[in-house]
Amino acid sequence: MSENQSNFWKKTPLDRMSRRQWESLCDGCAKCCLQKLEDEETREIFFTNIVCDLLDTDTCRCTDYANRSVRVPTCVTLSLSDLKDPYWLPETCAYRLLAENKNLPQWHPLVSGDPDSVEAAGHSIRGRTVPEAEADDWEHHLIDWI
C-alpha cells in the first residue's frame, strides 16, 4: 500500500511521521516562497506576489534547496517547533492545516493523487509572481489570492 493510499496524515501525528511522509506533505504551491509583510501589533500577514530569487518559477521548486537557509537567511526550514504557532504560513499550507487539526483539501496531491491538481485548483503561484529585482514598494504588490 502506498503512503497516500494509507492516508497516513490522518493517522500519524506530525511528530511521528517519517522524513518521507513529512516531505510529502508539501503540496508544492510555493506560496511560502513569496515575500510577505506582517503587522507587528495584530500579527496579520500580508502576502505579496514578489517571489524569492532562488525559486524556479516554472517548476515552483527551490533551485538550491540544500543550501536555502544559508543563501536566504529568512527562509524557514520548517520544524515541529515552528508549527506550534503557524499563523505566518499560508492558510492552505498542509503543515499548518495538520498542525491546526484540519483536513487536507481535495486538491492536495496526497488526496487527489495528481500533482497538477494544485495548479488546477488555483493554488500554485506559477505565472503569478514578479522577481524581487523588478518589485518597487512591497505594498504595491499585495495579493488576495493566497
| Interaction site with ligand SF4 (CB under 6 A) | 26-33, 52, 54-55, 62, 68, 72, 75, 90, 93-95
Shortest CB 31 distance to ligand SF4, Å: 4
Nearer to ligand SF4 among residue 5 and residue 77 (C-beta): 77
Q: Which residues of 88-121 are buried (b: 16+ CB within 10 A; e: fewer)?
A: ebbebbbbbbbbeeeebbebbbbbbeeeebbbeb
Separation between Cα atoms, residue 53 and residue 6, nearest integer Å: 37
The grid coordinates of residue 74 equal 529568512
Q: How many CA atoms lie within 13 A of 104 on its CB side?
A: 22
Cβ contacts of residue 1 below 8 Å, gap of 6+?
Answer: none
- Tell me, what amino acid is at 6? S
Nearer to ligand SF4 among residue 1 and residue 133 (C-beta): 133
Q: CA separation (Å) from 60 to 17, 24, 28, 125?
A: 24, 15, 7, 8
Shortest CB 41 distance to ligand SF4, Å: 24
Nearer to ligand SF4 among residue 54 and residue 130 (C-beta): 54
Shortest CB 131 distance to ligand SF4, Å: 12
Nearer to ligand SF4 among residue 27 and residue 50 (C-beta): 27
Shortest CB 27 distance to ligand SF4, Å: 4
Shortest CB 6 distance to ligand SF4, Å: 20
Nearer to ligand SF4 among residue 41 and residue 106 (C-beta): 106
